Amino acid sequence: MKGTIDQQKLNALRKQVIIRFGLAAVLIPIILLALAGTIYYWQGWLYWAVLVIPMLIAVSYLLKSDPELLERRMKFQEKEKEQRAIISAGNAVFFLGFIAIAIDLRRHGLSQVPHSIVLAADAGIFIGYCLVLWVFRENSYASRTIEVVEDQEVVTTGPYAVVRHPMYLGVLIMYLLTPIALGSWWAVPVFSLLIPILVWRILAEEKVLLRDLRGYRKYCQERRYRLLPFVW
């Protein structure tokens, strides 16, 4: 159920969103161009557009239709100790992945991945992003941190009718295709290390949901697969 917040909180949230979105929009191209060592890096510019444009649309939509969800998505401090460890491990792999991209691009050049495959990877990233946005539309409780709030209900509609954690599926698609979209084959194994970390996060999250969210155990019995249908 989508809630509302008062105007003062909404104005504060809007300012926070503008600052964070602005920083992301500026820092992402700086980081990407630093990786390649040149401004003539169309793969990086395209990746930036695929990330930033949907982000702008999503933020604008959530500010109008579901500001409480956006407020939850702005939280970064995990309450669960195990989740904090998982986030730290994921950040380390993500950092190493971009270092691997930089080394690869400097050694092998910007054209080692065929243009058609780069475009296909960006299309896949966009599809993954759309899956995440679909989750936001269906689940107003999709917080960035693992928590169960008062009156929270189990969501079983939309992508949740297929797998228990559709948002993580969208995120995984985006992560695994990122090095290819940026023109690097050699960084793919590094980004693949995010798979076991994501599995770890899902298992740890389900411990909290089974403990705190009424009806989640029954939902798990009805929805067998966590991430990929017929696989896991």
Print burial letters for 141-153: b (CB count within 10 Å at least 16), e (below 16). Answer: bbbeebbeeeebe
89-93, 139-143, 190-194, 203-207: least confidently modelled range? 139-143
> Domain residues for 148?
7-222
CA 205 to chain CA centroid, Å, is: 16
Average pLDDT over residues 41-59: 88
- pLDDT above 80 for 5: no
The structural domain count of the chain equals 1
The pair of three-digit structure tokens given for residue 169, joined into one six-digit string: 């599926």
pLDDT reported for residue 209: 87
What's 149's domain CATH number? Answer: 1.20.120.1630
- What predicted TM-score, i.e. pTM, was given to this entire model? 0.84
Q: Is residue 227 domain-resident?
A: no
- The reply to whether 2 falls in a domain is no
Structural domain contains residue 47: yes
Question: What's the mean pLDDT in 169-190?
Answer: 93
Hey, which bits of 56-206 come out as E strands?
A: none
Is 155's pLDDT higher than 50?
A: yes
180-217 pLDDT, tens digit per residue, is 999 999 999 999 999 999 999 999 889 888 888 888 89
- Res 145: pLDDT: 65
Does 49 map to a domain? Answer: yes
Predicted confidence (pLDDT) per residue in 102-121, tens digit: 888 888 877 889 999 999 99
231 domain-assigned: no
Q: Is residue 135 part of a domain?
A: yes
Q: 228 in a domain, yes or no?
A: no
CA 210/CA 76 separation, integer angstroms: 22
Domain assignment present for residue 1? The answer is no
End-to-end, the C-alpha distance of the chain in Å comes to 29
> What residue has token string 């936001």?
136
Average pLDDT over residues 66-82: 70
Cα separation, 194 vs 139, in Å, equals: 24
